[in-house]
Amino acid sequence: MPLVFAGTANHAPGITSRREAATPAQREVFFSAYAELRARLERARLDALVVVSSEHFTNFFFDNAPAFCIGLAEAYDGPSEDESFLRIAKTTVPGAADLARHLARAASAEIDLAHSQELLLDHGIMVPLHLLVPQMRLPIVPIIVNCLMPPLPPLARCYDLGCALRRAMDAREERIGLLAAGGLSHWPGTPESGRLNLEFDRGFLHDFLANNRQRLIRHSDEEISTSAGPGGHEIRAWIVASGATEGLIGEALCFEPIPAYAVTGCVATIAVV
């Protein structure tokens, strides 16, 4: 059974921690889009969900910063943040360990993937899971991308990882979904938090929806830092999704600037079946 669901969305902690800070109109647009993504995910009747997100100093630090790390565990605890802050109850999410081992083994023919039995889930995965699979019973395979500690994995390498994962997924019997979470432009943890670059976001989303590999991977790290902020490097997760859906056109479910969440609310899906 090939990949049967692919989606992308923001994961900024403000989405849950200060949900009411956005205007009612912004909330309606953004959370309706997330609800539509959830409906499509449920219709896909997934056996497992591969979630690509970014490192936030939750699992790795400067002493060991893998470009990509796949979780092989039977279960994952999260969120790592204070639950009263994130407003997501601490829980244990099941891991799709057998699938993860297959993906790690198969993708390693093309990409050097670190692997871990002990990944913690932070807002980067828990915010989207909270909105898409709130019972937290769908087994996941987390994949963490270093979007934080330079040197970062090249954008082309992220696309290649997606291609390798897709080939590995398509060899399985399970109904597998892929969710990429993060970005787009944002300046988290800086005095500029709340700043957005709509031109960058609009352009990236356009290239993402068209799965235009050449344009997606053309950005230098310096350009991303300047134009999209330190959080802009999280476009890597989206580019992994592009590699996994090579040749397919995406559909934007929302594009809504929400400074209160410190991101442009972007939710998209790719019809993979």
Active site residues: 123, 186
Q: Shortest distance, CB of residue 261 to Fe ion, whole angstroms? A: 12
Q: Shortest distance, CB of residue 45 to Fe ion, whole angstroms? A: 29
Residues 124-183 that bind Fe ion (CB under 5 A): 124, 182
- Strand segments, DSSP code E, in the chain are 3-9, 48-54, 68-71, 75-78, 91-94, 114-116, 140-145, 176-181, 250-258, 263-270
Residues 172-191 that bind Fe ion (CB under 5 A): 182
- Shorter beta-carbon distance to Fe ion: residue 91 or 185: 185
Pairing assessment for the beta strands 68-71 and 114-116 based on DSSP bridges: parallel
Instruction: Give dist(CA 206, CA 116) in Å, integer.
Output: 34
- Shorter beta-carbon distance to Fe ion: residue 95 or 124: 124
Q: Shortest distance, CB of residue 55 to Fe ion, whole angstroms? A: 9
Instruction: Give dist(CA 116, CA 17) in Å, integer.
Output: 28
Near Fe ion by CB under 5 A, which window of 66-74, 75-83, 87-95, 118-126? 118-126
- Strand segments, DSSP code E, in 59-167 are 68-71, 75-78, 91-94, 114-116, 140-145
Site residue total, Fe ion (CB under 5 A): 3
Residues 46-75 that bind Fe ion (CB under 5 A): 54
Q: Residue 49's closest CA among 105, 109, 9?
A: 9
Instruction: Give dist(CA 237, CA 60) in Å, integer.
Output: 17
Q: Shortest distance, CB of residue 148 to Fe ion, whole angstroms? A: 9
- Shorter beta-carbon distance to Fe ion: residue 216 or 263: 263
- Shorter beta-carbon distance to Fe ion: residue 147 or 253: 147
Q: Residue 181's closest CA among 238, 244, 250, 113?
A: 238
Instruction: Give dist(CA 40, CA 42) in Å, integer.
Output: 5
160-172 burial, b if ≥16 CB within 10 A, otherwise e? bbbbbbbebbeeb
Q: Residue 184's closest CA among 199, 173, 170?
A: 199
Q: Shortest distance, CB of residue 54 to Fe ion, whole angstroms? A: 5
Q: Shortest distance, CB of residue 12 to Fe ion, whole angstroms? A: 7
- Shorter beta-carbon distance to Fe ion: residue 44 or 228: 228
- Shorter beta-carbon distance to Fe ion: residue 106 or 267: 267
Instruction: Give dist(CA 11, CA 160) in Å, integer.
Output: 23
- The residue ranges that bind Fe ion (CB under 5 A) are 54, 124, 182
